[in-house]
Structure 1
Amino acid sequence: MKIALKELTDKDIDRIIEMAWEDRTPFEAIELQFQLNEQAVIKLMRRELKPSSWRLWRERAHQVSHKHLKKRSSEIDRFKCTLQRQISFNKISKR
């Protein structure tokens, strides 16, 4: 089941943007939690970010080879930063 961008709450949008900026978080992790594929994430980022921020993010996302699980090195076995709070299927703990 795909979620329409219009159905996302402000909190969901903030979390998706945060995950998209994080280098270690692949697009597949965003899709698992929010049912948004890469194209939907790109569309959301274009809509929500300022044009200069959008260009910076898009360039960064293209340069980071591990934003896709298939391109990711086998040495990377997690998709979140060690400093990030524990997250399980869009349930953010300790908030």
Structure 2
Amino acid sequence: MNEKSKQLTPEDIDRVIAMAWEDRTPFSAIEFQFGLAEADVIKLMKRELKLSSWKRWRARVQGRKTKHVAKRTEEVGRFKSKAQKQITYNKISKKKY
């Protein structure tokens, strides 16, 4: 793993795992936000998930077009998770429940 992955907080690791499970979040978005290449995400997922969960995740994302920007069709737009905080005027907004 690269140096960046060793500096992730538990909250960052949880967010990377959530983004990796999301079908429409490409690996390039994870790399942009956290500095982890696809291979690093795979290693992180293997390290953090139970074996059965990791196998299910790998089977799910392997070859999935939506996880790779270059393979996407134009119908797949940008996806924003409800767990992702909104950024307004360079300030992070808090969710209001």
Q: Deviations over 1:20-66 (max 9, x none)?
A: 00000000000110011100000000000000000000000115221
Specify the alignment match of 2:31 in structure 1: 31
Sequence identity (%): 56
**Distance in 1 of aligned mates of 2:86 and 2:26:** 14
Distance 1:87 1:22, change over 3 A: farther
Q: How many residue pairs were aligned?
A: 91
**Within 5 A, what are the aligned runs for 1:2-81?**
3-81=3-81
TM-score normalised to structure 2 length: 0.81
8 A contact 2:17–2:45 mirrored in 1: yes
Structure 1: tracts of 5 or more residues without a match = none
Bigger CA drift: 40-49 or 3-12?
Answer: 3-12
RMSD, aligned α-carbons: 2.1
Give the number of the structure with larger relative contact order, counting CA–CA contacts within 8 Å between residues 6 or more apart.
1
Structure 2: tracts of 5 or more residues without a match = none
**Distance in 2 of aligned mates of 1:57 and 1:92:** 30
TM-score normalised to structure 1 length: 0.83
| CA radius of gyration, larger in | 2
How far residue 75 of structure 1 moved from its aligned partner, in angstroms, is 1.1
